[in-house]
Structure 1
């Protein structure tokens, strides 16, 4: 079933489900401990699957049972963990067999989906492969509650229920991303082709998510060997080529991966080149050429008994001439500037992790140590001195460490631990002293997830953070605060569930963006940012049909909005509220979803604009996303369609202009020509709409020339796997 609104679901690939296998939905289980065959038989009966059990394999084995809400595969994984067995899916159901002992354990064993995890959009590797996103906008195009502004990767920003990603906790493979480099470019440069999972969690974030989750969290995970190889394979790879007619864009990527015994390794590279694209009016959009390159390298060692050790490094770079202010085309007033300058934007992420998850008992530790860095260098030719060049350089770094343990008790699943970050923002201009802000934070947390009674799931937790902040004038500012959250979901019956949650978050003092740091700043009245999040929802599921409604509100107090001339201490209050509606249907061969979001954002009691909402929100109004697909298994063909509809928004009309409505339609056809060769033909912006994305900058200002999105484009993609 496609993800609906902000509900966590496993998104089904467009192939037929084997007869007898249950749809990938979660179900509540309360199976007591017993012999393994007894427990498996009860699980099979309650889940509605066919499970062939060989008594010779289960003889002498016991199980602690299963308590909580699980999908079919997650429940089987939990029951069979550490038994040496696995459930092999087939045409008629599942068959019990010996586990392939040469395979390393996955990074995490899938657990129950309860309480605080419901308010999310989750894409797993199967879903990302089906979407085949070229940028982060493609990844979230089927979600009305997740808006992505910007027309090319270097200027794209993500908004979850109206909250900009700067006001969220963003991690890649567990590494905190501190990327407030320059508000005219992307906050986080993400290549979705490197991802195996992406989760956007709105509002009520659990304490173990990490510090500073003011409006929720964005969690990205890069691919592992486990995601790429079949169970009986030890080595493999692929080459991928894509051509898009608009801008004559070429994408080339490839990967090699393998495993032997307790070791595995993976290498992945992706490159996108192209010319300027044309908008829906047929006009060429200057300085919009594609110039992205990315890569990923991973090595891992371990076993289910020893745990998993993993070291990874991810690099993403975009280097090309862009509009002088990369997120819009120009200004009709103000000081004269060159038409363009070169933006060299790079993100570098290095992570070491250790995980031991037995999915039982009191000792299931996880340790993560990481460094992330984003660097932006802009080079321009001044109008007054065309024979010279001027270079500015901004670097944000974050060193992070997390140590936590997951305990499975009869009372609850308990996650506790400590985390640390050291964030810095550095600005360099040749001939001037370096300018830098720094924030160091230590936090402790505990989060409990439990089934209080058969129909009631709870998640609640606390965290305490202490921060030391240092300004450009070397002044020190220490502060501390507590955060708490509570989320409950009650299942009225097998079809209807209601949920509600609240979180209060202390976020400390956020770093200013590099490009506005000022040596003359005097830090006298710094205030820590805090937020309050409320959400309430209802979900109805009946035999493949889903209906959902959610209402939410995020209030952010003392949000830091410094300016070069205004000083470092400026703050504002933001109030973001709205609601989501969703309808969907899913079967073995088809799915269809319609999602509607209505978001209203205010700054200090006035309608927030795309200018004064920088770092926190944007005027989004009413958004609709439609997504559907139908699979022809015999022909090995899948046809799909999606549509994005934005209704006219006059909430910001006082700024000079309303935001125009638009409708964009996309279509695709997937064809499995050979077992090793997959083709996709798609038409993006089929109706050739001339529009600016609702989450993009400047539409409400008569002095701004906003960037129009690409017009119609025909694409052909081919992937050969070996």
Structure 2
């Protein structure tokens, strides 16, 4: 297969002279990173690097396995996995890596994001319609991933170092990585490379899942320079490539069809992200500043059995500026966002030009202001953003929209340890790019009139903590009006338009304990998404899917003297009745319980060596994740991939 090249770094290189805008002072110090994060009443969560290391996470399913409000469908192939928060698909979320937005959709049968989880430092998850500072178009929430820095890999007292790891999975594959990094008073740098190779895995019945193998390569480079004791500039670049032979619709098993068979073919997905970020602890008295230029390019390449080579490209460029200033116990955040997205279908075969130009472009520019008042026992936050969207499709039709997205939240400390919270947030997303794959299909056209999508989320909850225990819960109601999707039709007026209003109602309860060497957590969550009163099914691609009530449990025990940490994790999903795609009779998704064990051992006091052992799916359970495309009435068979069976993972990591 032709390997997709990385995009040219002209954008990043052209921005480097901006570093000279700030003059260096003597004795510069390491500057803490300024984060402009949202403030809402939602049940937000954070995934840490230590959690990902303990799980030996290798794909998105491993990353979000412990969160009852997040489901990952697609089976054991990273290429096909999709993330759902409260039943809403990843395309309804705001996704970013180190602040660089990952927007648009290339092909609805594959993932929107390929990344090595062990290059991640932390993940912030904002569930439900996001606050004003989360950026434009965050209808269903936001996921912000932050990659590792040199400081995350250096051992105590080190200035320069290197590390390497090697791991093997008995179901089936291996992972290896090499990293080099260092830090001085002025400079910090990092280069990391990893490779994950998986073969066709076995499900819980011992059957080999055909065409699930892949080869993934990941690269990360960062260069940070302290310009003064209050300012810093960081340049970063990341590349991820997934290559393998999988079915044309990668989230479905092979099947025969007289026109569009689902044959296994060579496919590749590559993503490149580059950014240049400037940080200042106090910028000309206006507050802490973080501003960033970024570019992301996603490319796909496929070759059919008939020999046709084609694919898609999605190019995102953007600029964000955020300021944060304190006024005693109060805080004000404000900023600007700008983003341009371009997409293209490559090597179109349409001699009648019914697909138009095969290219589309969209643009959004906006600004926000968000403040919080600390009134002692009561914390009040409110914000608003204004966004202006423009979009020109492949048939030269233009769409314009603009509007406000307000949000507000209240936190009340009723007594010591007990906090009640409530919030409401709204978000606007203008008409934007079609899925890039659709630009090669003549009958998938925009209607002449399409309204922008508008989301609203209302939420109430509580938090209580005492003597090492914490108990929390949320109840929410969300709606997304004017959901935009593509209909299966041949109407001359267009097949892409507004499908109506989607609703989600649900809750989450969580109980945690942390004291001494013990850590534990249990949670239960249920979301009920529907579209115009109809429960979402597997065919509601681009919107969401309904899954059964989900329970999670985890328990960790540390033995500091021995350098050991032991962990257990379980996930239970209750059975669900649903209407399968292409069927008129109700179907049934079986429930399942899956257990995992984890062990981390650091035998040396200087932590040079780390040994991780993980046993996923301890009891070799055969099951389909309920977020996976399941039974199809037209094909009269289950089209999704079963999850992997028992998988023993062993990894050694050495730091020099």
User: What's the TM-score once normalised by structure 1's chain length?
Assistant: 0.81
Q: CA deviation at 1:519?
A: 4.8
Structure 1 partner of 2:268: 344
Figure out how many residues of one structure are paired with residues of the other and give that number.
Answer: 612
Kindly indicate whether residue 36 of structure 2 is the aligned counterpart of residue 105 of structure 1. Answer: no
Q: Call closer, same or farther: CA 1:609–1:302 in 2, change over 3 Å.
A: same
Structure 1 partner of 2:7: none
Q: Distance in 1 between matches of 2:391 and 2:148?
A: 35
What secondary structure does 1:107 align onto?
Answer: coil
Select between 310-319 and 321-330 the one with higher mean Cα deviation: 321-330
Select between 226-235 and 321-330 the one with higher mean Cα deviation: 226-235
Q: CA deviation at 1:660?
A: 0.8
Q: CA deviation at 1:237?
A: 1.7
Matches within 5 A, 1:10-49: none
Structure 1 partner of 2:651: 717
Kindly indicate whether residue 300 of structure 2 is the aligned counterpart of residue 376 of structure 1. Answer: yes
What secondary structure does 1:658 align onto?
Answer: strand
Structure 1 partner of 2:536: 608
- Decide which of 39, 43, 61 is 1:119's aligned counterpart: 43
CA contact (8 A) 1:103 1:259 kept: no
Structure 1 partner of 2:93: 168
Q: CA deviation at 1:114?
A: 9.1
Q: Call closer, same or farther: CA 1:367–1:336 in 2, change over 3 Å.
A: closer
Q: Distance in 2 between matches of 1:252 and 1:519?
A: 44
User: What's the TM-score once normalised by structure 2's chain length?
Assistant: 0.89
Q: Distance in 1 between matches of 2:587 and 2:475?
A: 28
Matches within 5 A, 1:420-459: 420-432=338-350, 434-451=357-374, 453-459=375-381
Q: Call closer, same or farther: CA 1:475–1:251 in 2, change over 3 Å.
A: same
Matches within 5 A, 1:622-641: 622-641=549-568
Kindly indicate whether residue 236 of structure 2 is the aligned counterpart of residue 323 of structure 1. Answer: no
Structure 2 partner of 1:663: 593
Structure 2 partner of 1:10: none
Q: Call closer, same or farther: CA 1:713–1:293 in 2, change over 3 Å.
A: same
Q: CA deviation at 1:406?
A: 1.4
Q: Distance in 2 between matches of 1:252 and 1:332?
A: 37
Say which structure, 1 or 2, has more relative contact order (CA 8 Å, 6+ apart): 2
- Decide which of 516, 530, 535 is 2:438's aligned counterpart: 516
Q: Distance in 2 between matches of 1:230 and 1:366?
A: 28
Matches within 5 A, 1:38-437: 104-108=30-34, 115-116=39-40, 119-150=43-74, 151-230=76-155, 232-247=157-172, 249-302=173-226, 305-331=229-255, 335=259, 337-358=261-282, 362-382=286-306, 389-410=307-328, 412-432=330-350, 434-437=357-360
Q: Call closer, same or farther: CA 1:570–1:239 in 2, change over 3 Å.
A: same
Q: CA deviation at 1:425?
A: 2.0
Q: Distance in 1 between matches of 2:321 and 2:281?
A: 14
CA contact (8 A) 1:332 1:704 kept: no
Q: Call closer, same or farther: CA 1:204–1:119 in 2, change over 3 Å.
A: farther
Q: Call closer, same or farther: CA 1:103–1:239 in 2, change over 3 Å.
A: farther
Please, which runs of 5 or more residues in structure 1 have no aligned partner? 1-100, 383-388
CA contact (8 A) 1:114 1:457 kept: no
Kindly indicate whether residue 414 of structure 2 is the aligned counterpart of residue 489 of structure 1. Answer: no
CA contact (8 A) 1:658 1:700 kept: no
What secondary structure does 2:437 align onto?
Answer: helix
Q: CA deviation at 1:196?
A: 0.8
Q: CA deviation at 1:119?
A: 2.8
Q: Call closer, same or farther: CA 1:118–1:478 in 2, change over 3 Å.
A: closer
Q: Call closer, same or farther: CA 1:315–1:363 in 2, change over 3 Å.
A: same
CA contact (8 A) 2:414 2:420 kept: yes
CA contact (8 A) 1:204 1:501 kept: no
Q: Distance in 1 between matches of 2:222 and 2:651?
A: 26
Structure 2 partner of 1:578: 506
Select between 113-122 and 413-422 the one with higher mean Cα deviation: 113-122
What secondary structure does 2:324 align onto?
Answer: strand
Structure 1 partner of 2:10: none
Q: Call closer, same or farther: CA 1:346–1:564 in 2, change over 3 Å.
A: farther
Q: Distance in 1 between matches of 2:338 and 2:146?
A: 20
Let me know the Cα RMSD of the aligned residues. 2.3
